[in-house]
């Protein structure tokens, strides 16, 4: 397929050309290899020990079975065709009974790639994508699965922006960051009192853990020990896994963050329609999750270390050591402060915080008005 003009995501349309599973999939489609082994053992017992047939018959039967399996694999591989983007994902498969499944990318909230031992050896993987109700399409044995997944996620993002799923113009989106126990919730309530919509990413992440497909994925990764007695996800058990292993934490974030971000876009659009003064994203991992890219400005909430330790001990039952352990998994405080555009001091009273929040909103409103005015003056 020829390369056409670049797509809105910045990717050449050749990236979206239909493709098929890896040729290595010929060795994996159909019955697993252990099934062939069982057939050969049974044939050995029946043909040699019962009928006293020569070993060469068994060998020829084995070759025939392997040949049949390879032919089936080739047929199934050639009958499957995958398309990713620019607007939808599509799987077409089948010989006698054809299946043609499509899924609009604007509805995708989950994208994952899994790699079995054999897939890793040959550089392939299985990509699953779906919405909040669970996986809807699976691309089996995809060659260069990591690169294809990157294309898929870029296409999903571009489609959402084109369909109005991005940050709407005219309403400021404010990211909150700071140390654990700095009082971001206090600052968020102050914004809410000024007619801002506050999005609690922690609460959204907890809600994502209740989704059936998320729960099943976690059990598949870490076993039934991550479930509570009632079958729900035991967040303490999950925390014990992810805060002791950076790779597992990244895997969890890759599962949950796309769901949280998709819900967030809908809330931002609704806030703009309601005439809110702004949207506040209260996310503990604002920078780590890349959510700062969705914000017009980022506010660092500052607080004394002694105050933060006292708050987590009183509100969460943590020790100072637990606070240190959890913060070690996040971006350093000084780096968060450096990347922020504004600082709100939470050393004093709630009234002092309210005054700072009100002043910040007024500053953002004046800035927005100035930008609109500049945009309307010819030659500027």
* Alpha carbon distance 321, 319 (integer Å): 5
pLDDT of residue 269: 82
Cα 219 to the chain's mean position, in Å? Answer: 17
Q: Which token pair is 347? A: 């050393």
Q: What residues in the chain have per-residue pLDDT under 70?
A: 1-16, 28-41, 43-53, 55, 57-58, 85-86, 131-135, 158-170, 371-380
Q: What is the pLDDT of residues 62-115, one digit of tens each?
A: 777 777 777 877 888 888 888 876 677 888 888 787 787 877 777 777 788 888
Are the C-beta atoms of residues 129 and 119 closer than 8 Å to each other?
A: no
Q: What is the pLDDT of residues 306-364, one digit of tens each?
A: 999 999 999 889 999 988 888 888 889 999 999 999 999 998 899 999 999 999 999 98
pLDDT of residue 167: 46
Q: Where are the beta strands (DSSP E) in the chain?
A: 81-84, 88-93, 99-104, 110-114, 124-131, 134-143, 173-178, 196-200, 278-282, 297-302, 342-345
pLDDT of residue 11: 39
Residues in the chain: 380
Does pTM top 0.85 for this prediction?
no
pLDDT of residue 2: 32
Are the C-beta atoms of residues 14 and 3 closer than 8 Å to each other?
A: yes
Go through the domains of the chain in sequence order and give each one's CATH number.
1-21+80-163 (2.30.29), 22-78 (no CATH), 164-375 (3.40.50.300)
């Amino acid at each position: 397929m020829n390369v056409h003009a670049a797509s809105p995501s910045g990717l050449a349309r050749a990236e979206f050309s239909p493709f098929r599973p890896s040729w290595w999939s010929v060795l994996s489609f159909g019955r697993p290899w252990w099934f062939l082994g069982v057939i050969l053992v049974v044939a050995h017992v029946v043909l040699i020990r019962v009928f006293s047939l020569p070993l060469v018959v068994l060998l020829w039967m084995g070759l025939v079975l392997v040949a049949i399996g390879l032919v089936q694999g080739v047929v199934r591989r050639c009958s499957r065709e995958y398309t990713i983007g620019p607007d939808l994902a599509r799987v077409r498969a089948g010989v006698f009974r054809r299946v043609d499944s499509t899924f609009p990318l604007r509805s995708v909230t989950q994208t994952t790639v899994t790699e079995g031992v054999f897939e890793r050896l040959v550089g392939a993987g299985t990509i699953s994508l779906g919405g909040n109700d669970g996986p809807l399409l699976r691309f089996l044995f995809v060659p260069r699965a990591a690169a294809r997944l990157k294309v898929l996620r870029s296409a999903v993002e571009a489609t959402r922006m084109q369909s109005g799923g991005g940050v709407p113009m005219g309403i400021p989106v404010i990211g909150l960051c700071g140390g654990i126990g700095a009082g971001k919730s206090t600052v968020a309530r102050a914004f809410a009192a000024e007619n801002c919509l506050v999005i609690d990413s922690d609460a959204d992440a907890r809600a994502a853990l209740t989704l059936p497909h998320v729960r099943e994925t976690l059990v598949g990764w870490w076993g039934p020990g991550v479930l509570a007695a009632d079958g729900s996800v035991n967040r303490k058990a999950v925390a014990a896994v992810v805060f002791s292993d950076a790779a597992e934490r990244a895997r969890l974030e890759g599962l949950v963050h796309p769901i949280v971000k998709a819900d967030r876009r809908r809330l931002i659009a609704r806030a703009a329609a309601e005439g809110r003064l702004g949207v506040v994203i209260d996310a503990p991992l604002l920078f780590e999750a890349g959510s700062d890219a969705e914000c017009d400005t980022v506010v660092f909430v500052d607080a004394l270390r002694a105050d933060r330790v006292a708050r987590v001990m009183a509100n969460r039952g943590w020790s100072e050591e637990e606070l240190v352990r959890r913060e070690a998994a996040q971006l350093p405080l000084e780096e968060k402060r450096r990347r922020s555009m504004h600082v709100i001091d939470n050393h004093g009273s709630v009234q002092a915080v309210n005054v700072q929040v009100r002043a910040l909103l007024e500053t953002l409103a004046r800035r927005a008005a100035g930008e609109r005015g500049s945009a309307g003056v010819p030659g500027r």
